[in-house]
Amino acid sequence: MSYKHQDEARDALLKAIVELAPKMGSAGSIRDLAEAYAWAVSPGQPHGGHTTNK
């Protein structure tokens, strides 16, 4: 992916988070958008996964 496309994807995801977060019914949905943004910003880093509280 070119830098231009990476920038466009990142900007689109951030815009979606800002617009949709107040309308979303669950924290999980907001987390999913944030996770997509994290992948766009730092694709080489480990992201996501499910955790459980012990």
41 Cα distance to chain centroid: 9
CA pseudo-torsion sign 9, 15, 18, 23: negative
pLDDT of residue 47: 67
Mind listing the pLDDT tens digit for each residue in 18-51? Answer: 888 888 888 888 888 888 888 878 878 776 665 5
Domain extents for the chain? 3-41
pLDDT of residue 52: 55
Give the predicted TM-score (pTM) of the model: 0.59
pLDDT of residue 43: 77
Categorize the per-residue pLDDT at 6 as very low, low, confident or very high, splitting at 50, 70 and 90: confident
pLDDT of residue 10: 84
Q: What type of residue sits at position 14?
A: L
pLDDT of residue 50: 55
